């Protein structure tokens, strides 16, 4: 179980260009790992664009943004090109292994239908891969701003 103060599992996933990225090799002071249901859907597009719009502010705070969902390299490439996204988006495997390790995959309900899917959860972690804060059921329109404020006030979160 992932909890505040505990290390998150390491992973290696591919981006839109097929380049592999390993969490433990990221050298930022902070990393935001956000899970989103699907490329090019309304809520996921809003969330990605909000993170993208704030990318310079995150970088000034030495924070890396990583978005993770299903979908292959082609899907990620299309999503990034269509919306001019510069944030790092990674493709989980067909079994959603990373999503499951982060407890972000399971039964969901939408319009009376039940199905398996990715939960819109995020993790703010430090350079040691320890969880500073967990965000469940994030609101796409305000999530990037919420995390930025938390990073700016991280001393208060870690008390």
Q: Which sign does the torsion angle of CA 15, 19, 25, 26 carry?
A: negative
Q: How many residues does the chain have?
A: 159
- Which residues, at least 6 apart from 142, have a Cβ–Cβ distance to it below 8 Å? 50
Q: Residue with structure tokens 């030495």? A: 62
CB 46 within 8 A of CB 140: yes
Nearest to 125 by CA among 16, 1, 4: 4
Nearest to 58 by CA among 137, 155, 150: 150
Number of Cβ within a 10 Å radius of residue 30? 20
Q: Which residues are marked as active site? A: 44
């Amino acid at each position: 179980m992932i909890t505040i103060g505990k290390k998150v599992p390491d992973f290696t996933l591919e981006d839109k260009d097929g380049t592999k990225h390993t969490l433990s090799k990221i050298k930022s002071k902070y990393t935001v790992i956000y899970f989103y249901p699907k490329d090019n859907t309304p809520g996921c597009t809003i969330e990605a664009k909000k993170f993208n719009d704030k990318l310079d502010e995150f970088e000034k705070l030495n924070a890396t943004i990583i978005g993770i969902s299903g979908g292959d390299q082609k899907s990620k490439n299309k999503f990034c090109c269509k919306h001019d996204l510069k944030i790092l988006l990674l493709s989980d495997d067909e079994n959603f292994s990373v999503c499951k390790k982060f407890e972000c995959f399971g039964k969901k309900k939408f319009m009376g239908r039940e199905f398996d899917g990715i939960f819109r959860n995020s993790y703010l972690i430090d350079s040691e891969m320890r969880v500073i804060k967990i965000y469940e059921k994030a609101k796409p329109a305000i999530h990037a701003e919420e995390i930025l404020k938390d990073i700016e006030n991280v001393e208060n979160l870690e008390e």
